[in-house]
């Protein structure tokens, strides 16, 4: 099942574009000072990624909140985007109520549940997306809607549409090569503790991959970013340990000084493990490259589960936690 969902990524993106293009938001007279994206897990990672992808275009600061409580700066001049794929994420519902009480402008992205009811009852701008997927496999249908919300409020242009369309064409053309590369990388990460590094503007992609390693492959991993990693974690590479593996997410658009840092970091890591690997994003610009790496990363985590002969869909421990929490007052 998970392989079918990953294979359908570009179809999900196409559907998302059609849904987003039909969104018709009510106008507001608010002059926003900031943006807060509320969401967790598969619904929250989109906020992390988009905050980086639009940082050079959106003039407002975008904060991503993955907690029960919202920051104190939220007020009537804040655009709050609540993302909950199921529509019933308890932390996001609590954040919503706080934002509503503070008079913030609220937009909702959901497939249904309580959030769909709330959005309709309180006349919020909202985009309803297709339901029925595991939340982590719904990234393709949900993530593009963040672009549409920001565009509807006049915070970014609609250039992202062409970039997503180009990414779709690229991934469709490269699908066989992507799957071949993914299995090759998975074989190198199998039976190791993966450490993921990338340039800071792509940290959200690394976080997405780490989440997928946990949920799909039932493995722990870690991540850090260049250049910050060079100011602390680099010193930790002191002891020979072949149980560690390194995976670098690279891009031809890396800042040249970060490229030099990455090459030096590889040298240091290779003194401790021979298992140092890198994958290069394809595409023009950060949006295309991010989507390419996300798709490649999803296949890697599926292949890791396959190599371990485990069910990539199963998340019983999370369901058990939710059941326990539902019994709390």
Q: Which residues participate in catalysis according to the annotation? A: 215, 231, 322
Residues in the chain: 329
The three-state DSSP-derived secondary structure of 99-150 is: HHHCCCEEEEEECCHHHHHHHHHCCCEEEECCCCCCHHHHHHHHHHHHHHHH
DSSP β-bridge partners for residue 109: 83, 127
Cα–Cα distance measured from residue 28 to residue 25, given in angstroms and rounded to the nearest whole number: 9
Alpha helices in the chain (DSSP H): 2-7, 9-21, 41-53, 90-101, 113-121, 139-152, 159-189, 203-217, 256-270, 285-308, 316-326
Cα–Cα distance measured from residue 40 to residue 46, given in angstroms and rounded to the nearest whole number: 9
| CA angle centred on 268, ends 263 and 271, rounded to 5° | 130
* Burial (0-12, 13-18, 19+ Cβ within 10 Å), 309: exposed
CB 267 within 8 A of CB 301: no
Look up tokens 């040298």; give the residue: 267
């Amino acid at each position: 099942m998970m392989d079918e969902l990953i294979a359908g990524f570009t179809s999900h993106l196409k559907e998302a574009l059609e849904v987003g293009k039909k969104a018709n938001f009510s106008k507001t007279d608010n002059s926003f000072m900031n943006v807060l994206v509320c969401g967790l897990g598969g619904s929250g990672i989109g906020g992390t990624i988009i905050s980086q992808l639009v940082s050079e275009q959106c003039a407002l600061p975008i904060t991503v909140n993955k907690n029960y409580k919202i920051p104190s700066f939220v007020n009537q001049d804040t655009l709050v985007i609540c993302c909950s794929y199921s529509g019933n994420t308890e932390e996001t519902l609590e954040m919503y109520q706080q934002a509503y009480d503070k008079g913030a402008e609220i937009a909702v992205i959901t497939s249904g549940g309580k959030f769909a009811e709330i959005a309709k009852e309180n006349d919020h701008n909202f985009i309803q997306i297709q339901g029925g997927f595991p939340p982590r496999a719904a990234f393709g249908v949900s993530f593009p809607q963040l672009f549409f919300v920001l565009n509807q409020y006049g915070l970014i242009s609609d250039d992202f549409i062409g970039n997503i369309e180009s990414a779709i064409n690229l991934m469709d053309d490269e699908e066989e090569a992507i799957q071949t590369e993914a299995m090759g990388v998975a074989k190198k990460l199998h039976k190791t503790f993966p450490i993921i590094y990338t340039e800071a503007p792509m940290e959200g992609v690394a976080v997405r991959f780490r989440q997928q390693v946990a949920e799909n492959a039932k493995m722990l991993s870690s991540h850090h970013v260049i250049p910050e990693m060079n100011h602390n974690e680099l010193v930790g590479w002191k002891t020979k340990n072949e149980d560690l593996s390194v995976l670098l997410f690279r891009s031809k658009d890396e800042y040249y000084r970060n490229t030099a840092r990455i090459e030096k970091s590889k040298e240091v890591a290779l003194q401790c493990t021979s298992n140092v690997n890198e994958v290069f994003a394809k595409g023009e610009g950060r949006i295309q490259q991010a989507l390419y790496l996300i798709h490649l990363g999803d296949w890697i985590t599926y292949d890791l589960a396959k190599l371990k002969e485990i069910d990539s869909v199963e998340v019983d421990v999370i369901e058990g936690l939710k059941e326990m929490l539902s019994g709390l007052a």
